[in-house]
Amino acid sequence: MAWREAAGGEDRDEAHAAPVPRVRVSEEEMPRVVLTRRQIVLFTVFILSGIAFFYFVLPKLAGVGTTVHRIERGDTWWIAIGVVLELASFAGYVMLFRSVFVATEASPPSRIGWSESYQITMAGLVATRLFAAAGAGGVALTAWSLRRSGMEPRLVACRMVAFMVLLYVVYAASLLIDGIGLGSGLFPGGGSFAITILPAIVAAVLFALAGAMALLPGDLERRLQRWASGSGRLAHWVARAVTAPALAASGVRTAIDLIRSRDAGLLGALAWWGFDISVLWAMFHAFGSPPPFTVIWMAYFVGMLGNLLPLPGGLGGVEGGMIGALAAFGVDFNLAVLAVLSYRGISFWLPTLPGVVAYFQLRRTVARWRDEQSLAPAGAPHVGSSEPAGALQGS
C-alpha cells in the first residue's frame, strides 16, 4: 500500500510551512533498559513469586490441587491447537504492521521486508511483555527501528498512533458490542451491569474521544504554537506539549484513512485479538466444557486491563482479571484457573525466546542499514522515506 497524503488544503499548507529535517540513520542508539544487579534480582524474585502463587498457591486455595499436574492431564490436541492459534495471532500482528508502516509501492522501496517486519514486531512484543511500562518498551523499540530504516521521525510517530488506534478500536468495539449483547440478553451468558454495560459505556466514551480527535483541524499545531511563542523554559515545554494533540489527531485520521483504503492487511488487527481469544477458548476445551464464547470474549478483554498495571507484561494482573471476570459470570472457578493459566503459559511465554532472538537479529539488521547509509553517495534518495515529511498532517 502507498502512503496516503492529505485530502484537505490546510494540511498541505502545514506540510510546506513546517518542513521536518531528515535524520540520518546513524544518529540514534538502540533503546536500552539499564538494569542494576538489585533490579535483576528483584525482577527474578517477582517473576518466580508470581508463577509460584498462580500455579501452586491459588490452585490449592481454589481446591484445584497441583495445577502443573492438572495441566499435564489436559487434552493434548486442544493444547496443540492453542499453540497454532497463538502463532496465527502473531502472524496477524506482522500483517498489520506491514499494512501501516511498509509502503510496498514506494520508490525507492522500503528497507523493511517480511524478515525485518518479523524482527521488529517480535522484538517489540518481547520488550512489551518483559518490562513493566504499559507497552511503552515495545513502542519505543518499534519506533526506533522504523527511524533507523530511514523513515522520518514525525511520520513514524503518526503511524505509531495509527497502528495503536487500529489495534485498540477492535478492543473497544468488542467491549461495546459484547457488553451490550450480554447486558441486554441478546448474547448468552448473562452477567451483571458492572461486567457488561459498564465496560460498554467506557468503550463508547473512547470512541467519542477518538471521533473528537479526528475532527481537530489539520493545522492545529501551528495554531497552538502561537500560544507557545516566547522564550524561557516554560515556553519550551509548552511548545513541546502542543504537538501531542496534533499528533494524536493526525494518527486517528491516518487510521480512518487506512480503513477506507480496504487494505486486506488491516484484518491483521482482528487476527491478533481473535486468534488470541481463541487460545483461551481452546484451553477451556482442553480441561472441560467451555462457557459461551461471548463470556470468554468479555472476560478476556476485561482481564487485559491488567496490562495497565506496573507489572512485567501484566503478569499477575491479567490472570487475576480474567479469572475474576469469569467467576463474575458464574464460570466454575477451578476450570477458570486452569484455562487462564494455560492460556497465559502459551500467550506470554511462547513468544519470549523467539522475541529475544529477534531482538539480536534486529540489532544486526540495523547495523547493516547503518553501513548502507554510510556508503550511500551524498544526495542519494533516502530509502524508506519517499513521502514528504508533512504528509502525516493530513493522513
295-326: pLDDT as tens digits: 999 999 999 887 776 665 566 678 888 999 99
- Kindly report the backbone phi and psi dihedral angles of residue 382, in degrees, each rounded to the nearest multiple of 5, phi listed first: -85, 105
Domain boundaries, position 239: 74-372
327, with CB counted inside 10 A (0-12, 13-18, 19+), is middle
Cell of 347: 500467550
Assigned domain for 327 exists: yes
pLDDT at 225: 56
- Domain total of the chain: 1
Length of the chain: 395
76, pLDDT greater than 60: yes
Would you put residue 265 in left (φ > 0), alpha (ψ -120 to 50) or beta? alpha
153-184 vs 293-303: helix crossing angle, rounded to 10: 140
**Mean pLDDT confidence for 156-181:** 94
Predicted confidence (pLDDT) at residue 361 exceeds the cutoff of 70: yes
Examine residue 2 and state whether it is found in any structural domain, yes or no. no
Residue 128, pLDDT above cutoff 80: no
Q: Give the Å distances, CA to CA, from 89 to 189, 209, 232, 263, 312.
A: 25, 28, 49, 18, 21
The whole-number average pLDDT for the span 121-142 is 75
Least confident of 153-157, 247-251, 290-294: 247-251
Residue 11 lies in a domain: no
Residue 53 lies in a domain: no
Q: Which residues, 6+ apart, have CB-to-CB distance to 281 below 8 Å?
A: 290, 293, 296
In the block, which residue shows the cell 477518538? 210
Cell (9 digits) for 189: 451468558
Tell me if 378 is assigned to some domain: no
Percent of the chain residues topping a pLDDT of 70: 64
This prediction's pTM: 0.77
Distance in angstroms (rounded) separating the CA atoms of residues 190 and 294: 10
Domain annotation covers residue 69: no
Using one digit for the tens of pLDDT, what is the confidence trace for 15-64? 333 344 444 444 556 655 544 566 555 556 656 666 666 556 556 555 55
In a domain, 270, yes or no: yes
Domain-located, residue 391: no
Q: Is the pLDDT of residue 199 over 60?
A: yes
Cβ(76)–Cβ(84) below 8 Å: no
Position 2 confidence tier, pLDDT thresholds 50, 70, 90: very low
Between residues 8 and 245, the one the model is more confident about? 245
Cell reading at 366: 540495523
